[in-house]
A and B are shown apart, each in its own frame.
Chain A
Amino acid sequence: MNCTQTRELIGAHLDGELDVMASLEFKRHVECCTACALAAERVEAVRSAVAVAPYYRAPDRLGLQIRAAMGREAGARAGGIGRFVRPLAVAAALVLVATLSWRVARSTGPSGGLERELVAAHVRSLQADHLLDVPSSNQHTVKPWFNGKIDFAPDVRDLADAGFPLQGGRLDYVDGHVAAVLVYRHKLHVINCFVWPAEGGASERATSVQGYRLLRFTDRGLMYWVVSDASAETLEEFGRAVRAVSPRVPGALP
């Protein structure tokens, strides 16, 4: 191996890309050629310098956004909404939403507006940069983040064991309340769990608005509204998981 050949193989040698024979020949040459040895050292210096360059990890919310977008796409496909049917489907959906909204408004009185507000907040949260103020799967990071921002203490727990990994939290404003929102994920579905202090007990109720499902319940003096595009069964399971892990602390919030 001469100097020209050796110089060409410096990178491949350092990157471990040479086969055993070529590697041996390379080493043999470098041992007795100081010029090539120096050249190799220079390339190695650049290699180690580059190793300290930042490695950009994907932000947590990017994974959530992609999963949400995939879920929307999968939903559209599963529904068999083709390119040409889409305008029709949208028109039909609008009529349906209008009818539904009217019926919801009629059947539930003023709270129907709240449900629409929650769905709107859920949809808004799925748009870029709205989902999480504190992106973390660590409940010990998310819980203290709420301190001083709200006058109640939501029970922040990672429910990964039950199939609902915690994604983080944020503050939102619904129905004239500042709400703590705990964000969970179930497969491709984002679950927004709105929490604020309950004013009197409210019975558990599941509804659906604009294709989104909502579940309401109270637990330990807090009102929970869960919104997602996951199935009603999934939401019920989620509700059970939230209540199951809540420790019954004596003297907790009334």
Chain B
Amino acid sequence: MRTEPDISRFESTVLVHLDSAYNLARWLVRSEHDAQDVVQEACLRALRSFDTFRGGDARCWLLKIVRNTCCTWLERNRRNEPEPLMDVELEQFASEAADPHLQMIRRVDAEQVREAIDELPAVFREIVVLRDLEGLSYKEIAVVAAAPIGTVMSRLARARKQLEERLAPRVAQGGLT
């Protein structure tokens, strides 16, 4: 049985983070419509287990539920999303990459960045979104993604490396001849 004050407490502590929830879901499922469904489901799940929320950071708590709901969604729609949100073994990138195209990366526009992030494997995409768009600390990301901090750090480093490689040639193609 849920009482009215409980719901208003849910609104003021959890539902105020709706933008964060939607941003994460939108980046993970890559569709406006599906992101809305996922977030609605996640919020209802959160409401049902609100009794188990023991204070602390409500945003992280909600994001964790959103992430898990996205996982389920990605599992169900595997055809569109070949990489599930679990740790995958990826080849280690050489620490000395080719020409970094530093100047090029500094000229990318929002659309190029969006494409580059969208093309990242989901496991990297979520870390970049949580860190650079949501501004979460490594510790908070570790909670949301249910991974040790060391893993968060290495995934973030690899994600940024991949972004660098994706962004530099993109600008080169962009026709700065």
Q: Which A residues from 39 to 92 make CB contacts under 8 A with B? A: 41-43, 45-59, 62-63, 65-67, 69-70, 73-74, 77-78, 80
Q: Which A residues from 116 to 151 make CB contacts under 8 A with B? A: 128
CB contacts (< 8 Å) of A188 on chain B: these are 7, 11
Q: Is B2 an interface residue, CB under 8 A from the partner?
A: yes
- A49 touching B22, Cβ below 8 Å: no
Q: Is A7 an interface residue, CB under 8 A from the partner?
A: yes
Q: Is A160 an interface residue, CB under 8 A from the partner?
A: no
CB contacts (< 8 Å) of A51 on chain B: these are 132
CB distance from A7 to the nearest CB of B (A): 6
Interface size on A (CB < 8 Å)? Answer: 42
Q: Who on chain B is nearest to A128 by CB? A: B36
- B153 touching A38, Cβ below 8 Å: no
Q: Which B residues from 23 to 48 make CB contacts under 8 A with A? A: 23, 26-27, 32, 35-36, 39-40, 43-44, 47-48
**Contact residue among A8, A17, A38, A66 (Cβ-Cβ distance under 8 Å from B39):** A66
**Contact residue among A4, A43, A53 (Cβ-Cβ distance under 8 Å from B160):** A43
Known A52-B113, A57-B23, A58-B19: A74·B39 in contact at CB below 8 Å: no
Name A's interface SS: helix
- B100 touching A42, Cβ below 8 Å: yes
CB contacts (< 8 Å) of A59 on chain B: these are 22, 32, 36
CB contacts (< 8 Å) of B22 on chain A: these are 56-59, 62
Q: Is A161 an interface residue, CB under 8 A from the partner?
A: no
Instruction: Give A7 to B128 CA distance when docked, in angstroms.
Output: 19
Instruction: Give A226 to B23 CA distance when docked, in angstroms.
Output: 34
- B36 touching A54, Cβ below 8 Å: no
Between A and B, 6 residue pairs with Cβ closer than 8 Å are A11-B153, A11-B160, A15-B137, A46-B167, A52-B110, A56-B26
> A interface vs B, CB < 8 Å?
4, 7-8, 10-12, 15, 17, 38, 41-43, 45-59, 62-63, 65-67, 69-70, 73-74, 77-78, 80, 128, 187-188
A7-B95, A66-B44, A188-B7 given; name 5 further pairs at CB < 8 Å: A17-B137, A49-B167, A55-B19, A58-B19, A70-B47
